[in-house]
A = this chain, B = another copy of it.
Amino acid sequence: MRDVAVIGAGVTKFGERWDDSFRDVFVEAGLKAVQDAGLTGDRIDEIFVGNMSGGRFVNQEHIASLIADHSGLALEGHVPATRVEAACASGGLAVRQGAQAVSSGLSDIVVVGGVEKMSDVQSDQSTEILAAASDTEWESFYGATFPGLYAMMARRHSHEYGTTREQMALCSVKNHSNATMNPTAQFRREISVEDVLNSPTLADPLNLLDASPITDGAAALVLAPAEDARRCTDTPVYIAGIGQASDAIALHDRRTLTTVEATEVAVERAYSSAGIGPGEVDVAEVHDCFSIAEIIAVEDLGFFEKGSGGAAVEEGLTELNSRVSVNPSGGLKACGHPVGATGVKQVAEVALHLRGDAGERQVDGAEVGLTHNVGGTGGTAVVHVLSREAPR
């Protein structure tokens, strides 16, 4: 097995992109990534695309073929193109499949992308479409939406560990603050704890400003064998570890509401293959689809003891250039959450920090980064550990 490097990254502006089509949004990200790698399209051996629900958001399946075509990779080169789906973890799984294609030796240069165009449907439809990430026969059929499911996790976390509404709100506040420094973020404005607490209730205790938004956007990476990476770029970033895990898709079938076991298992697999522990992570993009999800994530990823995530946020231990810089991009909350793109954007963001290219929001001296992407309420989790240093 070969080691794998990220040699290019591109993220589109996230937001409501009324004037751009699904295919255009993706191609914009892909081009950015390929140009960032200093390559041309004829070098690409294969593409993987993460997308949750093109079939329902934009009436389009067979997405990887569409994208290969509109990227100019189909009529010329007939490049293999594969869509990967695991709800909001689709992008993270696409990264993993792309890395596997390179590590196996089957492909050399692989483009991995993620895309979602969510604003072409009415917002009540978005909630229904996203609910298809749950166990629809046993959750959404009975009225459970994602805000409702995460609200139950929040309630239980508060009950068991005393996590407060303010601590949850502080995740959103921090992520909005980080997003002010990210040119591609959807919401580039500060908010306060009061703003969060006074925003409309979605599913008590979670309010509108605890939740990630509906977003159009795409992200892409260029992957290459580690041994060739320095021929393309002076600042390759290496994929040091990958872990993916499943759990019961329905929340009511899990052992606990306050730990996402798929995260625990995925990160253990990733740390183990990278040969590192949570104390070595400088920067992390974690899956904050709701504020409570960030608190649970920083515990499950081993950054803080179970139950102490809320306090850690309150103490500022997840702010930029603190103990571990969590969601410098603004996270799903403020950077935006085009569901199929998120897992790829996370890797692109961490790569920027490890390269020293993150501008105003740069995490100083970042050497090791981590991405954490979740499908549904935790039926799927995938973690990547990234490093400035080439694997031994």
Contacts and interface: CB of A to CB of B under 8 A. Distances in A.
A380 interface: yes
Oligomer: number of copies: 2
Contacts of A250: 69
A249 B78 CA distance: 11
B87 A65 contact: yes
A210 to B, nearest CB: 22
A137 interface: yes
Contacts of A83: 84-86
Q: Which of A82, A253, A379 has the most CB of B within 10 A?
A: A82
A100 to B, nearest CB: 5
Contacts of A105: 1, 104
Contacts of A53: 55, 61
Contact of A103 (B79, B104, B133): B104
Given A78-B262, A86-B65, A59 B132 contact: yes
Nearest to A52: B61
A188 interface: no
Contacts of A255: 75
A97 interface: yes
A265 interface: yes
A73 interface: yes
Interface stretch (A179-187, A239-247, A276-284, A345-353): A239-247
Interface residues of A, number: 66
A232 interface: no
A74 to B, nearest CB: 4
A86 B100 contact: no
A68 interface: yes
A266 B376 CA distance: 35
A287 B261 CA distance: 41
Contacts of A93: 82
Given A132-B55, A137-B21, A253-B69, A74 B248 contact: yes
A63 B52 CA distance: 11
A82 B78 contact: no
A81 interface: yes
Contacts of A257: none
B79 A246 contact: yes
Contacts of A1: 104-106
Nearest to A380: B65
26 contacts: A1-B105, A21-B137, A52-B61, A53-B55, A55-B55, A55-B129, A56-B56, A60-B136, A62-B85, A62-B87, A62-B380, A64-B246, A64-B380, A65-B375, A69-B135, A69-B253, A73-B246, A74-B379, A75-B247, A75-B255, A79-B245, A82-B93, A83-B86, A84-B84, A97-B97, A100-B104
Q: Which 5 A-B pairs have the closest CB atoms?
A: A104-B104, A65-B379, A80-B244, A62-B87, A78-B245
Given A60-B132, A64-B246, A82-B97, 8 more contacts: A61-B132, A62-B86, A64-B85, A65-B375, A69-B247, A78-B261, A97-B100, A103-B104
